[in-house]
Structures are given as structure tokens and as C-alpha cells.
């Protein structure tokens, strides 16, 4: 997207986006990911213009430790759904290097069938150092996907840090993938993540791993009995699946739809989305405060000097924070 197009928001591009044109959608997401002040203003206008077309999608967050098979499962599940007539968008958040800011962005190579599917859209996005590895504009990208007619949005988290919590705050249904053989994994997984889960699926339940997956599922069921469920309406099930062999994915998706129906009937889904909007508002406030510090050369230099003094033990973190607040006029 050229600088002129990003600022002008060409009507033809907006029309193409609303028709479901994937190239137009990709350009729109590039716009909302931009940190340029003029692009930020243009992205707000874009989001306002498509607002009436958003909110109708099924939003599913998927997490799990690296190597659990998230990409393979999403590739198979997404292909199943497009074969049923759905349009599926995948927002796959890649980890950005804290040193260089670079990201691998390799999800399209790991989701070969979906990448070639005309009814699917895959957007690998660098986390850019934001909370828990969730891309700074994941929520806005999700809204644009819905405006483009994608009725299912899958958000894949990198499965480290606080990304799980952030993705749970963006989606309607939160799926936690586990590896077969629960023993060590059960000890290593964070209690907070399990408490957020709307479902636990033990993946790689095929071949020699099938029996271990069943045993692992039994252990997770026992663990869930002593933890508080995220909703009084929904008891998180534990199932076994295989993304590679396409086993159990129909059961998985049926649970997503059942969860949606129950929470819609009680009003919980609407309340959950409103609460998520409130959390995102504060995330944007924090981001803009940080952008003010980074955007002004003098402020950036002063903050860098304060950080150096803190790391050298010359200044306390509290005193430095007070000075930074003063820079912001707080």
C-alpha cells in the first residue's frame, strides 16, 4: 500500500475489502499495523467505517507449548471448516526478537492447505514486543477479517509468556492444546492458563500416541475438577485429537458451537466481549503513553538516561518512574 493510499483510504480498496478480497484485507492490516501517525489516523477511520460489519464471527484462541502441533491442527481444522462452506481467517502471532525486533513469520509454510485455500486467509504477525507476544493490532485485524466476511477467526498464540492470557481476552473460546503423556506437562503448565481454558485437547492422539493421549486426558480431567471454570454455564471438556490424522476435530468444533450457543443464550458472550473491549481500551492507553515517550527525541533520550541510571544503581526504579510520569504530565 502506497503512502498516498494509506492516508486517502481509497474507496475502491474499502469496497474490495468488504467484498472479501484477500489482497485488500492484507493491505488494510498492513495499514493498521503501521506506527506512522498519519497511518494511525487513517486506520481509525477505516475501523469506524467497517464497524457495522464486525462482531459476527466465531473467535477462537488456540495456545499450547511449542511443538504441540498448533499449526498442523489449525491447518486441518481450517480445511475441514472451509469444506463446509465457512470462510476462515488465521491470525498467527510470531515471536519478535527482543534484541532485533525481527520475527520468523513462518506460519504459511506450516499451513500448506489453508495457504492455498481461496476461502482462507492467513496473516502471520510479529508480536513486536507487546504483551505476551500478542501482536499490537491483533484485535483490529480480527475486526477487519470479520468485515471481509470471514465468519471464523482463529488466533494462534506462540504459547509462551503471557500470550495465553492476552489471547483469552481477545476471543470467545479458548482452546489449550496438550501433548500426550500428561505427567511432566501437567507439572509444567501454569494453573492460570488451565483456568482460562474452555477446552483442553490432547493432540497427537494417533498411532503409538493414542493410548498415551487417553491417559493424559484422564489426568487433565482430574486436574480440572479442582480448578474454577471460566464460566458457570460451561464445564470445560477434555478430549483427544490428532491434527495430523484429522481425528476428533469434528468433536472439537461441535464443542465450540455448543459453548457459543450456551453463552449467547445466557448473555455471557455479549458481556464477555464488552469486558474485552474495556481491557483493550486500557491496553491502547498504555501503548499510546509509551508511544509518546518513544516519539519525542528529547523524551526518548531522557528515558534512556533514566534507565541507564537505574541499571547502574544510581537511581531507584521508583524515582525514575516518577520522572517519566512527569515527562508525560502525570
**How far is the first Cα of the chain from the last one, in angstroms, to the nearest whole number?**
37
CATH code for residues 1-53:
1.20.5.170
Domain ranges of the chain: 1-53, 54-265, 278-327
CATH topology of domain 278-327: Helix Hairpins (1.10.287)
Three-class DSSP category at 242: strand
Predicted structure pTM score: 0.85
Closest of 86, 150, 156 to residue 121, by C-alpha: 150
pLDDT for res 222: 82
DSSP 8-state class, residue 159: S
Architecture of domain 54-265: 3-Layer(aba) Sandwich (3.40)
Q: Cell triple for residue 135?
A: 501482536
Residues in the chain, pLDDT under 70 = 1-10, 94-109, 126-136, 159-163, 182-192, 228
d(CA 11, CA 301): 41
Q: Cell triple for residue 172?
A: 470467545
pLDDT for res 255: 97
pLDDT for res 104: 43
pLDDT in tens, 26-66: 999 999 888 777 888 888 899 999 999 999 999 999 988 88
Amino acid at each position: 500500500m502506497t503512502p498516498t493510499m494509506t492516508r486517502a483510504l481509497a474507496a475502491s480498496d474499502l469496497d474490495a475489502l468488504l467484498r472479501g478480497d484477500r489482497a485488500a484485507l492484507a493491505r488494510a492490516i498492513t495499514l493498521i499495523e503501521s506506527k506512522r501517525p498519519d497511518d494511525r489516523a487513517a486506520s481509525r477511520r477505516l475501523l469506524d467505517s467497517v464497524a457495522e460489519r464486525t462482531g459476527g464471527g466465531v473467535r477462537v484462541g488456540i495456545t499450547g507449548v511449542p511443538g504441540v502441533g498448533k499449526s498442523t491442527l489449525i491447518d486441518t481444522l481450517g480445511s475441514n471448516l472451509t469444506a463446509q462452506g465457512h470462510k476462515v481467517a488465521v491470525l498467527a502471532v510470531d515471536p519478535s526478537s527482543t534484541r532485533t525486533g525481527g520475527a520468523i513469520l513462518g506460519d504459511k509454510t506450516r499451513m500448506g492447505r489453508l495457504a492455498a485455500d481461496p476461502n482462507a486467509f492467513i496473516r502471520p504477525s510479529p508480536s513486536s514486543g507487546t504483551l505476551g507476544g500478542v501482536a499490537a493490532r491483533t484485535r483490529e485485524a480480527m475486526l477487519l477479517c470479520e468485515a471481509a466476511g470471514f465468519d471464523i477467526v482463529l488466533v494462534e498464540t506462540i504459547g509462551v509468556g503471557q500470550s495465553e492470557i492476552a489471547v483469552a481476552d481477545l476471543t470467545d473460546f479458548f482452546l489449550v492444546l496438550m501433548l500426550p503423556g500428561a505427567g511432566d506437562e501437567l507439572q509444567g503448565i501454569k494453573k492460570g492458563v488451565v483456568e482460562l481454558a474452555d477446552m483442553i485437547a490432547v493432540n497427537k492422539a494417533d498411532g503409538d500416541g493414542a493410548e498415551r493421549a487417553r491417559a493424559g486426558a484422564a489426568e487433565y480431567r482430574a486436574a480440572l475438577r479442582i480448578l474454577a471454570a471460566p464460566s458457570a454455564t460451561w464445564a470445560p471438556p477434555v478430549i483427544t485429537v490428532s491434527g495430523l490424522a484429522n481425528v476428533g476435530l469434528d468433536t472439537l468444533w461441535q464443542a465450540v458451537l455448543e459453548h457459543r450457543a450456551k453463552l449467547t443464550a445466557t448473555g455471557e458472550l455479549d458481556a464477555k466481549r464488552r469486558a474485552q473491549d474495556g481491557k483493550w481500551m486500557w491496553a491502547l492507553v498504555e501503548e499510546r503513553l509509551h508511544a509518546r515517550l518513544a516519539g519525542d527525541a528529547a523524551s526518548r533520550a531522557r528515558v534512556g538516561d533514566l534507565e541507564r541510571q537505574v541499571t547502574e544503581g544510581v537511581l531507584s526504579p521508583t524515582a525514575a518512574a516518577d520522572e517519566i510520569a512527569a515527562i508525560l504530565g502525570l
